[in-house]
Amino acid sequence: MDSVIHRIAREAGLSRARSGRLRRRLAESPRWQALIAPARTDHGARRVRARVIAEVRAELAPRTDTSTLQRAVHTAVLLDEVSLLPPRQRYALWSAAIEGRPAADIARRTGWTASQVHRLLGSALTTVTVRAQRW
């Protein structure tokens, strides 16, 4: 959850130092350990992320523009959703979207069929899109 806090804080315009202080302050609060304890499963991680984002929003809202904060949250959620994807979906999505590889190249590198790559990409995009739309 540190990465979510860091991403939101940095996207909202906080310096690295202020972002680090925010993360430390939240981590030192008595509620923090109870808050992040259920993050052992994907579902638990998503539930915890919602609580963490609520805490960070409450902390940053008084001094950050609403649209800037919303964009920061959306970016952090998208990146977190990609990290929660199953490994094969994450690899296919990263290879196609970030590295710009065509499905045939991904298939050749992994030993999967092009059809499998397309299904993995479709599933990954659906999961990330649906989950990120809630924010």
Do 9 and 60 lie in one domain? The reply is: yes
d(CA 68, CA 25): 22
Helix or strand or coil: residue 64?
coil
pTM of the model as a whole:
0.72
- Please give the tally of structural domains in the chain: 2
Task: Looking at the structure, tell me whether residues 23 and 78 fall in a common domain.
Answer: yes
Question: Rg (Cα) of the chain, in Å, rounded?
Answer: 17
52 φ/ψ sector (left φ>0, alpha ψ -120 to 50, else beta): alpha
Burial (CB count <10 Å: 0-12, 13-18, 19+), residue 100: exposed
Q: Are both 46 and 68 inside the same structural domain?
A: yes
Asked if 30 and 13 sit in the same domain, the reply is: yes
Q: Tell me the residue range of the domain where 52 lies.
A: 1-84
Q: How far apart are the first and last CA of the chain?
A: 16
pLDDT tens digits along 30-83: 776 666 655 555 667 777 788 888 888 888 999 899 999 999 998 898 888 898
Percent of the chain with pLDDT over 70: 89
